[in-house]
Amino acid sequence: MKNNNKIKAVLFDMDGVLVDSEEYICQAGVEMFNEKGYKVLPDDFLPFTGMGENRYLGGVAEKHSIPFNLEADKARTYEIYADMVRGKLSPLDGVHDFIGICLSKGLKLAVASSADPIKVNINLDEIGLERNLFRAIVTGLDIEHKKPAPDIFLKAAELVGADPRSCLVVEDAVSGVAAGKAAGAKVLALTTSFSPEELSGADWIAGTLAEAGDEVLDW
């Protein structure tokens, strides 16, 4: 179907948009630090949500002055995470239907997640989303400057062949909304992680993709 509207592509964040895995990656981080002999709390991770695991884990380590080996500690966190989520993750409400509508409109799709590829792949497999649904999958390892910098969305737009100004970014984090707007895209924010007030910089706000209005894909 030919799309005559300005919108040409939809760039999805993953956590809090396609799947809610924050609880599990947070608990995996808590357990990793516990194995190192340090007690941290789930709330310690909140300021670093959406910034990728380097900052998600590294920020907590910095806050508590915990010695931190980025590669080893991140790898251990992902090992714990993979065991923890097996058979437990489900797509958030409306994900498959929303993607189906996007495809029926001829929109190009991409995943733009600050997470590492290993986590993106685990999550997509667990919620039953085939990689070939997406023209591009951009992860935190593909870009230097993480959200709230716009780099990840600029890269995703480039890879799907769309002007960022013709893209809809779907985000759940304050840093992600800022990144989408900085890229020049329109932004739909989902309140799965932050309040509507905290996400007020977005063009549209909804609880989940199931609650998003038709207007987010019709402009």
The rounded distance, in Å, linking the Cα atoms of 115 and 121 is: 10
Measured in degrees and rounded to the nearest 5, phi and psi for residue 87 equal: 75, 5
- The sheet carrying 204-206 orders its strands as 136-138, 108-112, 9-12, 167-171, 186-190, 204-206
Q: What tokens were used for 188?
A: 């739909």
In a 13 Å sphere around the CA of 134, the CA atoms on its Cβ side amount to: 23
Taking the alpha carbons of 82, 85, 47, 32 in that order, is the dihedral positive or negative? negative
What value, to the nearest 5°, has the Cα angle with vertex 204 and ends 136 and 193?
75
Cβ–Cβ < 8 Å for 216, 189: no
| Helices 53-63/70-85 angle, 10° precision | 110
Active site residues: 13, 15
Phi first, then psi: give them for residue 96, nearest 5 degrees: -65, -40
Gap between the Cα atoms of 154 and 126, Å rounded: 27
